[in-house]
């Protein structure tokens, strides 16, 4: 895995109120009526599919399974599982950097798994790093390649941890 340098920024903003109201029964029925199931694929080897990311430019879905710590690559046209990787404990959010051909998987255990997606059907685990307790959300800036991980408690403060590949 590429070495990463840690930059820490203390967040001064917190928790805006949710602005949207929940859907009423009639609106929920309208949404459901507008959707149609076009395929169902069995995810063999996956216990509790939790996170999902579609590969950029390929019909491959990356599925994180949080009860058995696996990442499946699934061909979205056939349903065939093309790869099955062991990843950090309790995977949650997936984020991709299309420029570097990397997939990042943040886990509730605080581990960040880094995957090479040069061939999306055959992803390769590059490594893992402990990035912070309960660091289970991640976003990538595709221009700078920086990773953003919000942490709720670092020495009693909420912080935004920012990582940059070297």
Higher-pLDDT residue of 89, 5: 89
Q: How many CB atoms lie within 10 A of CB 117?
A: 23
| 24 band by pLDDT with thresholds 50, 70 and 90 | low
Decide if 104 contacts 140 (C-beta within 8 A): yes
pLDDT digits (tens, 9 = 90+) for 116-145: 999 999 999 999 999 888 888 999 999 999
Average pLDDT score over residue span 34-56: 90
Name, in order, each residue with C-beta under 8 angstroms of 88's C-beta and a sequence gap of 6 or more: 69, 105, 107, 109, 111, 112, 113, 128
The pTM of this model reads: 0.82
pLDDT reported for residue 37? 83
Ordered structural domains, the chain, with CATH: 4-12+47-165 (2.130.10.10)
* pLDDT of 3 strictly over 60: no
| 23 band by pLDDT with thresholds 50, 70 and 90 | low
């Amino acid at each position: 895995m590429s070495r990463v340098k840690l930059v820490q920024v203390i967040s001064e903003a917190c928790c805006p109120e949710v602005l949207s109201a929940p859907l009423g029964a009639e609106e929920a029925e309208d949404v459901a009526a507008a959707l149609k199931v076009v395929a169902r694929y069995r995810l063999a080897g996956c216990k509790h599919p939790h996170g999902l990311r579609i590969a950029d430019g390929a019909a491959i879905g990356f599925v994180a399974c949080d009860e058995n710590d696996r990442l499946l690559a699934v061909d979205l046209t056939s349903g065939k599982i093309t790869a099955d990787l062991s990843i950090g404990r309790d995977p949650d959010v997936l984020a991709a950097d299309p420029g570097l051909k990397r997939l990042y998987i943040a886990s509730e255990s605080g581990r960040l798994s880094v995957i090479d997606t040069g061939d999306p059907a055959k992803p390769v685990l590059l490594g893992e790093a402990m990035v912070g307790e309960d660091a289970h959300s991640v976003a990538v800036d595709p221009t700078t390649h920086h990773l953003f991980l919000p942490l709720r408690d670092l020495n009693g403060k909420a912080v935004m941890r920012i990582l940059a590949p070297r």
